[in-house]
Structure 1
Amino acid sequence: MRNPPFNRTQVPPGIAVRDLCLRFGQRTIFERLSVDIASGQIVALLGASGAGKTSLLRIIAGLAQATSGSVMGSDGLPISGRIAWMGQKDLLYPWLSVQQNVMLGARLRGEQPDHDWALHLLERVGLQDQRDARPDTLSGGMRQRAAIARTLYERQPIVLMDEPFSALDAITRARVQNLAAELLQDHTVLLITHDPVEACRLAHQLLVLSPHPAGLDTSHTLAGTPPRALDDPELLRSQGALAQQLLRGAE
C-alpha cells in the first residue's frame, strides 16, 4: 500500500546512511560509508567519475543493492515508498500531453489522477498554457519544468535527483535552479551534480565523494540560503574552492 501524500506542513525525514559497502568482484567502490542528510535540506553530491555517486544514489533510492550497510530515515523508518526520483533526462512520454506526463505515476499505479494538484503544479512551473501540448513542442527548459512538476506530483518528502539540469543552457539552468530551490524547500533532497556553481547555488550542504579508499568529504560549509545569487562573493569563493578540490581528485 502506498504511503499517504506528504503534506508540506509536515517535517520530512532526513536520511541516515550507515556503513555502506559496495564491491564489484575484487573492486571496492566505497567502504564503510556513513553520512546524515539533514531533514528539509538540499544536499549536493559531487566527485570524480567512477567514484560511485550514482551507485550511492540508486542504493538510497532502493534501485540497487549495497554489499552491506543500511539506509534508513532519520525517524528510524525505511525510506522506501517516501521517495521521488528525478533523473538526468526528463523522460517525458512523447505520446502523452504535459499534464498526462505529470500524472503518470498515478496512472501506472492504477490510481485516480489528481487533476487539480497537477494543474496547480503546472501553474507553479509556468506551464499551465502548455498542459495539453506534447513534449516535442516544448523547449528544453519547459521539459525540465514539466519533469519537476511530475516529481513533485508524487508528494514524497524525499527527492533524489541525478544531474537533472545538466542538459540545459546556462541561462535556462539558472532559472530552473531558482524554481527547484523554491519548490523543494520543504523536502529532503539529495542532488548529484558535476557543476560546482550549481552545487554552491542550490545546496545547504556539500558532499564530495572520492574513489576508494578516500571516501566522503563532508567538511565544506556554505553560508546563506539557496538559491544564492550568481555574483554572491561567498558563492564565488565556495565554488572556487570546490572546483580546485574536484580538479585535484581527477588527477
Structure 2
Amino acid sequence: MNKVEIKHLTKIFGRKVNQALKMIENQQSKKEILAKTGATVGVYDASFEVKEGEIFVIMGLSGSGKSTLIRLLNRLIEPTKGQIYIDGQDIAKLDHEGLREVRRHKINMVFQNFGLFPHRTILENVEYGLEIKGVDKATRVQKAEQALDNAGLLDFKNQLPNQLSGGMQQRVGLARALANDPEILLMDEAFSALDPLIRREMQDELLDLQAKVKKTIIFITHDLNEALRIGDRIALMKDGQIMQIGTGEEILTNPANEFVREFVEDVDRSKVLTAQNIMVPAITTNIELDGPNVALTRMRREEISMLLAVDRNRNLKGIITADLALKARKENLPLSAVVETEVPTINKDMLVTDIFNIIYDAKTPLVVTENNRVLGVVIRGSVIEALAETNEGQETPVTESEEVVHG
C-alpha cells in the first residue's frame, strides 16, 4: 500500500519559469538554464511512490535537488507544479489550515542540526511538539518518556542537551519527532554531522527503532553506503531529476545510465550483494523418482561428484555423492536410503560479506533455500569474485570441493 505518491513534481526557483521548463524539456542543462533565464532548477518531473512502513532514501551529490525535494513533500517549499499525495490526499492543494493539520498529525521532520532547546531538559525537549498541539501534561510526559525509552535515553531525561554527546542529541531529536507519533518521518541528512563511528551507531539504532515503530521514513543522504545500509529502496538524483529508483541490489547490478554506473562503482559490493545475486543453478536428483543409475549417469555427464537430493517439489533432502550412489546400486537400495542429510544452507538474502565466513570452511557449496526449496548454490569462486570485484571475463579458480552440485 502506497503511503506517499509523488507525480511530476517540479520546483523552479526565480522568474521565467515557463521558459526554464521548456529548456528542461529540450534537454538543456541546469547551468544553461541558469545562465539564460536566471532561474534555478530545484526539482524537475519527480515521480515515485513510498510504501507504508518503508525506508525510502533519496540521495545525490550537493546540488542534486534532494533537500529541495524533501521540503516539497511537506510544503516547506511550494511546488511549481505536480501532485503530492499522502493517503490519497493531494497536499499541494491544501490551504494553510489543512496543511497545518497534516504537519501536526501525519508528518514530522528531523534535521541535520539537532535543533534542541538548550535550556530545556531532554524530557521537556521531547514534549515540545505535544505541548504546542495542546496535549495535557500527564499525557505528553507519558508519550515523551516512551519515546525516550525506545531510543534508550530515558535515564537522561532530566539532563540538558549540552550534557549529551552529538550522537545522543541526535537520538533526542529523533525521539522528539517520534513522540508526536507521526505516520511519516522526513529525515534530512540527519546523521551527516556525526563522526563515522557514531553515525554507524545511529544507523543501527534507526533500523532497530524502525523494527519497533514501523513508520514510513523518507531519508535524505549524500552517502551511498548509508543509503545502501538503511534504505529499502533508493532514488538517485542528479541536477534535480531522478536518475533511477530501485533497491540497492538493483542499482548496483543494473545501473540505469552512465551517471549511476560511475556513482556506484566504488561501493563495497559485498555489503550489498546477496546470495541471490551470486548463486548458480543447482544440479539435482529427485530421490522420489530417480534411482542410483540415473544419479550416476547425471554425475558422469556433468563431470561432477555430487548432486543435491530433492523431492518432487524441489524441497531439499540432502546430498548424494558418487560413493553413496554406488553403494545404493550395489546393495539395491533407493537413493532415499543413502542420502546425506547434513548440508549447509543459507537464505537468499544473506550478504556476500557474511557468506564468506561460512563458505571458507565448508566442504561443499552452500545451498540457497527459501522455505526449504532449492533456489541454487553458492560456490567459493563466486564469493571471492564478488569480494574482489573481479572484472567481467576474468576467471576465479574453483577448488575441488566446489566442483559439485552446480553447472
TM-score range, shorter chain: 0.7 to 0.9
Please report how far the alpha carbon of residue 120 of structure 1 lies from its aligned counterpart in structure 2 after TM superposition: 1.8
> Counterpart of 1:19 in 2: which secondary structure?
strand
Q: Deviation per CA, 1:115-151: give whole Å up to 9, x if none.
A: 1221122122221111000001111111011111101
Residue 130 in structure 1 maps to residue 156 in structure 2: yes
Please tell me the residue identity of whatever aligns with 2:231.
A
Counterpart of 2:52 in structure 1 is: 39
Query: In 2, distance between residues paired with 1:38 and 1:109?
Result: 27
Query: In 2, distance between residues paired with 1:32 and 1:195?
Result: 23
Q: In the alignment, which of 112, 126, 131 is matched to residue 88 of structure 1?
A: 112
> Counterpart of 2:229 in 1: which secondary structure?
helix
Please tell me the residue identity of whatever aligns with 2:219.
L
Q: In the alignment, which of 3, 15, 21 is matched to residue 10 of structure 2?
A: 21
Q: In the alignment, which of 239, 253, 260 is matched to residue 211 of structure 1?
A: 239
Tell whether the 8 Å contact from 2:54 to 2:232 is kept in structure 1 after alignment.
Answer: yes
Residue 167 in structure 1 maps to residue 204 in structure 2: no
Residue 195 in structure 1 maps to residue 223 in structure 2: yes
Query: In 2, distance between residues paired with 1:58 and 1:219?
Result: 19
Counterpart of 2:270 in structure 1 is: 233
User: In angstroms, what is the RMSD of aligned CA positions?
Assistant: 2.2
Q: In the alignment, which of 115, 128, 132 is matched to residue 108 of structure 1?
A: 132
> Counterpart of 2:272 in 1: which secondary structure?
helix
Please report how far the alpha carbon of residue 60 of structure 1 lies from its aligned counterpart in structure 2 after TM superposition: 0.2
Residue 150 in structure 1 maps to residue 176 in structure 2: yes
Tell whether the 8 Å contact from 1:48 to 1:211 is kept in structure 2 after alignment.
Answer: no
Counterpart of 1:241 in structure 2 is: none
Please report how far the alpha carbon of residue 153 of structure 1 lies from its aligned counterpart in structure 2 after TM superposition: 0.3
Please report how far the alpha carbon of residue 194 of structure 1 lies from its aligned counterpart in structure 2 after TM superposition: 1.2
Please report how far the alpha carbon of residue 232 of structure 1 lies from its aligned counterpart in structure 2 after TM superposition: 8.2
Q: For the pair shown, which has the larger CA radius of gyration, 1 or 2? A: 2
Q: Deviation per CA, 1:37-93: give whole Å up to 9, x if none.
A: 1221101111121121111111101211011111012x3125623101101111110
Please report how far the alpha carbon of residue 219 of structure 1 lies from its aligned counterpart in structure 2 after TM superposition: 4.0
Kindly tell me the number of residue pairs found equivalent between the two proteins.
217
> Counterpart of 1:111 in 2: which secondary structure?
coil
> Counterpart of 1:218 in 2: which secondary structure?
strand
Q: Deviation per CA, 1:181-204: give whole Å up to 9, x if none.
A: 122341111110111111111000
Query: In 2, distance between residues paired with 1:232 and 1:131?
Result: 41
Q: Taking structure 1 as the reference length, what is the TM-score of the superposition?
A: 0.80
CA 1:97–1:18: 2 relative to 1, 3 Å: same
Greater share of helix residues, 1 or 2? 2
Q: Which runs of 5+ in 1 are unaligned?
A: 1-10, 224-230, 239-251
Tell whether the 8 Å contact from 1:87 to 1:162 is kept in structure 2 after alignment.
Answer: yes
Q: Which runs of 5+ in 2 are unaligned?
A: 16-38, 92-101, 250-267, 275-350, 352-407
Tell whether the 8 Å contact from 1:83 to 1:158 is kept in structure 2 after alignment.
Answer: yes
Q: In the alignment, which of 41, 60, 82 is matched to residue 69 of structure 1?
A: 82
Q: Deviation per CA, 1:183-234: give whole Å up to 9, x if none.
A: 234111111011111111100001111115xx212344235xxxxxxx9824
Tell whether the 8 Å contact from 1:197 to 1:235 is kept in structure 2 after alignment.
Answer: no
Tell whether the 8 Å contact from 1:51 to 1:211 is kept in structure 2 after alignment.
Answer: yes
Q: Deviation per CA, 1:92-122: give whole Å up to 9, x if none.
A: 1000000000011122233224212211221
> Counterpart of 1:58 in 2: which secondary structure?
helix
